[in-house]
């Protein structure tokens, strides 16, 4: 019975699956994770297994399965309050989107991953691996500065958690930076970076720590050394640092397999066999995502130049440059589209705010409308504040409309709104309730103060020059106040207060007025 059949403890199974992936044995890890997913009833374990499974699929290059795996992992992680899982999933989803050529989704996932991982309050080994995978995603998208920052974060968290420095050496990040420089015409810069990568490997070998390097890292060191040789540098052959030996590592990693094939092309060029190198390029098929779409064309240019066919070499070099430029153009388009989407979103928010404001405002008087009034009173009463509401109804308004028309009636309503607003105290609230009815709300007020407010409103309306606006049609106002009682339910209390204020307003309307 194999180890896989003996695994009962889910934590041990997940830990072992992660170790298998670190050892570039992703196919075995995938099988183990599938078993955990089928058997576990723990939501956290299931989510962790699904995130790891996505990582295994990416390592194996099984592109057709990415979408389903992301959807299932997203559903499993969605309701878990664990920022690490959200961050790691988004980092892996960014890698997957990159392999699928969806740069806009890739960038979106990168931003979400960085935010989620940055929100982890107690970083651990898992968080370190999340930052590692985010660094890889940044690197494949050619965001080299971000990639170096993220891998350094992973390295520091890893050291704190007891993960050896070699585990997060990540030579592939600097390797992709180096070849990108070469694709854009900076071969000297490329060589400088490759020499730094070689120096790191020499340091690990000198300290006897090269055996701790991950297989995928060894393959990347091998390609960096072979690429350096293809550009004319002398490199070590034989021994631990021999590029052929290093390139043989990488297990079942699809990216290591690509580097192994391209590395043999580089070594053929370095060995003075440029035609063999061109023949190898004609027979291999590698992912454009591993080292960029321009890398095969650039290697062809180097090989043809060594063979003396400078016209063909120039043509291949121009192709490499165009492919690199296309990548930069795509990144620029993603950036511009992202900015455009953000501007659209901001405009939509402003438009929504404007419509929200219009929905809560009476268009004729500019006062808050009934909907906003109800929200305001509810908020005040819910806070437990003492509050009095007043209903104000115009006297003579029907005659205004009959004699002078509705346009004059609108002018009267606008002026009444201004008069009431002018005499209210700071903190009081005025709204148009409908028709010729207005409501005032007096927070932290009793009936004695409300009576004084009513007197001021009536006096201000009476003093207004209505004769010049609607000749021969006097305008007045009747007001009734009531205090909102907190003894019953909120809705009932408001209803009772409005009814009482309405009755008081009708009584005021029936009383004789001073001329």
Predicted local confidence at residue 1, as pLDDT: 36
Cα 243 to Cα 97: distance, rounded to the nearest angstrom: 31
Predicted local confidence at residue 364, as pLDDT: 87
Q: How many domains does the chain have?
A: 2
Residue 40 lies in a domain: no
Residue 202 lies in a domain: yes
Q: Are residues 184 and 205 in the same domain?
A: yes
Predicted local confidence at residue 488, as pLDDT: 56
Domain boundary among 310, 327, 359: 359
In a 3-state reduction of DSSP, which class is residue 173?
A: helix
* pLDDT above 70: residue 462: yes
Range of the domain at 477: 370-510
Q: Are residues 401 and 491 in the same domain?
A: yes
* pLDDT above 70: residue 337: no
Residue 189 lies in a domain: yes
Q: Are residues 315 and 438 in the same domain?
A: no
Lowest mean pLDDT among 21-35, 173-187, 258-272, 329-343: 329-343
Q: Are residues 324 and 460 in the same domain?
A: no
What is the percent of the chain where pLDDT is above 90?
Answer: 42
CATH number of residue 494's parent domain: 3.30.70.270
Number of helices (H), then strands (E), belonging to the chain: the values are: 23, 4
Q: Are residues 384 and 500 in the same domain?
A: yes
Residue 389 lies in a domain: yes
* One-character DSSP codes across 266-303: HHHHHTT-HHHHHHHHHH----HHHH-TTHHHHHHHHH
Q: Are residues 395 and 463 in the same domain?
A: yes
Q: Are residues 408 and 350 in the same domain?
A: no
Distance from CA of residue 136 to its chain's centroid? 18
Average pLDDT of the segment spanning 450-465: 90
Residue 276 lies in a domain: yes
**Overall pTM > 0.75:** no
- Triad 448, 451, 364: Cα angle to 5°: 135
Cα 93 to Cα 105: distance, rounded to the nearest angstrom: 9
Average pLDDT of the segment spanning 448-472: 89
Predicted local confidence at residue 4, as pLDDT: 41
Residue 215 lies in a domain: yes
Q: Name the residue with higher pLDDT: 102 or 151.
A: 151
Residue 129 lies in a domain: no
pLDDT in tens, 309-332: 999 999 999 999 999 888 777 766
Domain boundary among 338, 359, 380: 359
Q: Are residues 255 and 281 in the same domain?
A: yes
Q: Are residues 352 and 236 in the same domain?
A: yes
Compute CA distances 337 → 140, 344, 345, whole Å: 20, 10, 12
Highest mean pLDDT among 159-168, 199-208, 244-253, 275-284: 275-284
Residue 6 lies in a domain: no
Distance from CA of residue 17 to its chain's centroid? 29
Cα 172 to Cα 220: distance, rounded to the nearest angstrom: 5
Average pLDDT of the segment spanning 445-455: 90
What DSSP state is assigned to residue 165? G
pLDDT in tens, 463-497: 888 888 889 888 999 999 998 876 556 677 778 88
């Amino acid at each position: 019975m194999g180890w896989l059949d003996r695994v009962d403890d889910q934590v041990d199974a997940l830990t072992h699956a992660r170790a298998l992936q670190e050892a570039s044995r992703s196919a075995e890890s995938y099988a183990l994770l599938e078993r955990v997913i089928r058997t576990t009833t723990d939501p956290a374990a299931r989510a962790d297994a699904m995130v790891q499974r996505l990582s295994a699929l990416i390592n194996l290059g099984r592109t057709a399965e990415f979408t389903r795996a992301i959807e299932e992992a997203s559903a499993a992680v969605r309701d878990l309050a664990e920022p690490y899982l959200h961050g790691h999933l988004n980092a892996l989803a960014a890698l997957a989107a990159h392999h699928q050529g969806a740069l806009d989704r890739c960038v979106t996932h990168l931003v979400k991953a960085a935010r989620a991982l940055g929100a982890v309050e107690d970083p651990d080994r898992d968080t370190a691996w999340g930052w590692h995978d985010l660094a890889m995603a940044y690197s494949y998208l050619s965001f080299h500065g971000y990639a170096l920052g993220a891998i350094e974060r992973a390295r520091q968290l890893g050291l704190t958690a007891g993960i050896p420095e070699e585990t997060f050496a990540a030579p592939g990040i600097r390797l992709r930076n180096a070849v990108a420089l070469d694709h854009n015409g900076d071969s000297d810069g490329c060589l400088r970076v490759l020499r730094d990568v070689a120096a790191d490997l020499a340091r690990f070998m000198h300290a006897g720590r090269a055996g701790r390097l991950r297989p995928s890292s060894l393959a990347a060191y091998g390609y960096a050394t072979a690429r350096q040789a293809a550009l004319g540098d002398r490199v070590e052959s034989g021994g631990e640092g021999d590029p052929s030996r290093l390139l043989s590592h990488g297990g079942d990693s699809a990216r290591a397999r690509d580097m192994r094939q391209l590395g043999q092309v580089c070594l053929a060029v370095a060995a003075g066999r440029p035609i063999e190198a061109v023949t190898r390029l004609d027979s291999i098929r590698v992912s454009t995502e591993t080292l960029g779409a321009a890398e095969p064309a650039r290697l062809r240019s180097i090989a043809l130049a060594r063979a003396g066919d400078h016209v063909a070499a120039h043509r291949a070099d121009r192709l490499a440059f165009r492919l690199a430029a296309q990548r930069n153009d795509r990144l620029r388009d993603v950036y511009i589209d992202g900015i455009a989407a953000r501007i659209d979103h901001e405009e939509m928010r402003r438009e929504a705010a404007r419509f929200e404001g219009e929905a809560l405002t009476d268009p004729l008087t500019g006062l808050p409308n009934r909907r906003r009034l109800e929200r305001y009173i509810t908020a005040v009463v819910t806070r437990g504040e003492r509050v009095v509401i007043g209903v104000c109804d115009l006297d003579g308004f029907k005659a205004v409309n009959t004699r002078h028309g509705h346009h004059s009636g609108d002018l009267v309503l606008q002026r009444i709104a201004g008069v009431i607003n002018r005499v209210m105290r700071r903190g009081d609230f005025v709204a148009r309730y409908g028709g010729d009815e207005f409501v005032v709300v007096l927070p932290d007020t009793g009936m004695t103060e409300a009576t004084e407010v009513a007197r001021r409103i009536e006096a201000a309306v009476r003093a207004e020059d209505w004769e010049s606006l609607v000749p021969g049609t006097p305008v007045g106002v009747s007001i009734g106040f009531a205090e909102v009682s907190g003894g019953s339910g909120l809705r009932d209390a408001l209803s009772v207060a409005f009814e009482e204020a309405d009755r008081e307003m009708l009584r005021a309307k029936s009383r004789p007025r001073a001329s």
